[in-house]
């Protein structure tokens, strides 16, 4: 009887293990499909308008031009107004939402973003040395689009990005990006350190519990034209 119970337990354990392993492979395959879609874009230039609202800093809407070159070159130029982006503009770069290598994808169930059903996938880095600790993707499986991402970093807190798509959806490029982050974790940009010193405790106290928000509406993309590396210097 004991031998039979042991055998039944072994069969059950093996079945559960194989099921979990296969499901993990499915999530990795899904993430790689989304990544492959994004990698069709070797470079782009985009025009848009950016609105910033960070704690007590309310900047006017300003025109921006964004440059990207695969895999990780990114530049944002503003035309008037204050540009308030997390250090390095990490998550504003669409390609940076998916780790390039060395991650494990875990299924975290289903949800919706707006009216769109999404699969929630958590990406855990295999190494501990990187900046990103955890990345959670909300993936539209039908269209292979990331509708939302939440990224937790070592140095710059947690960022959340929601994306809305239109005529550039086939490239995985959004028409609108809503980007939010914890203002207390944010280092004030050089452009406004004359007014607010980012080491000033009073300023940081004002930011506690506050959310920073950046909204970018893209009006046009120019894709795969062969941008020069010199643009990003």
> Residue 126's domain is classified under what CATH number?
2.50.20
Selection from 59, 187, 23 nearest residue 196 by Cα: 187
Confidence of residue 201 (pLDDT cuts 50, 70, 90): low
pLDDT at 147 over 90: yes
**Rounded-to-integer distance, Cα 72 and Cα 150, Å:** 19
Q: How many domains does the chain fold into?
A: 1
- Across the beta sheet with 132-140, what order do the strands follow? 73-79, 57-69, 43-54, 211-223, 176-182, 158-164, 145-153, 132-140, 116-125, 103-113
**Rounded-to-integer distance, Cα 112 and Cα 102, Å:** 28
Say if CB 165 and CB 174 are below 8 A apart: yes
pTM of the complete model: 0.77
Tens of pLDDT, residues 29-79: 999 999 999 999 999 999 999 888 876 666 778 898 888 888 878 888 888
Domain housing 28: 2-232
**Rounded-to-integer distance, Cα 191 and Cα 76, Å:** 14
Q: Read off the pLDDT of each residue in 123-128 and give the average, rounded to a whole number.
A: 82
Burial pattern 113-131, b for ≥16 Cβ within 10 A else e, equals: beebebbbbbbebeeeeee
Sign of the alpha-carbon torsion through 127, 129, 130, 135: positive
């Amino acid at each position: 009887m004991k031998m039979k119970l042991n055998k039944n337990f072994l069969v059950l354990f093996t079945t559960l293990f194989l099921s979990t392993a296969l499901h993990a492979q499915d999530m990795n395959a899904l993430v790689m499909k989304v990544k492959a879609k994004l990698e069709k874009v070797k470079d782009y230039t985009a025009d848009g308008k950016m609105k910033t609202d960070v704690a007590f800093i309310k900047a006017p809407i300003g025109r921006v031009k964004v440059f990207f070159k695969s895999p990780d070159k990114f530049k944002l130029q503003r035309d008037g107004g204050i540009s308030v982006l997390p250090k390095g503009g990490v998550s504003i770069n669409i390609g940076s939402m998916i780790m390039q290598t060395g991650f494990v994808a875990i299924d975290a169930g289903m949800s919706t973003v707006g009216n769109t059903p999404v699969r929630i996938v958590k990406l855990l880095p295999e190494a501990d040395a990187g900046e990103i600790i955890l990345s959670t993707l909300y993936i539209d499986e039908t269209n292979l689009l990331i509708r939302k991402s939440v990224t937790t970093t070592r140095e710059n807190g947690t960022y959340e990005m929601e994306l809305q798509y239109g005529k550039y959806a086939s490239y995985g490029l959004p028409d609108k990006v809503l980007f939010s982050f914890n203002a207390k974790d944010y280092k004030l940009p050089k452009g406004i350190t004359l007014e607010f010193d980012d080491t000033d405790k009073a300023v940081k106290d004002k930011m506690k519990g506050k959310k920073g928000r950046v909204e970018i509406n893209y009006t046009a993309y120019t894709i795969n034209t062969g941008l020069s590396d010199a643009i990003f210097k």
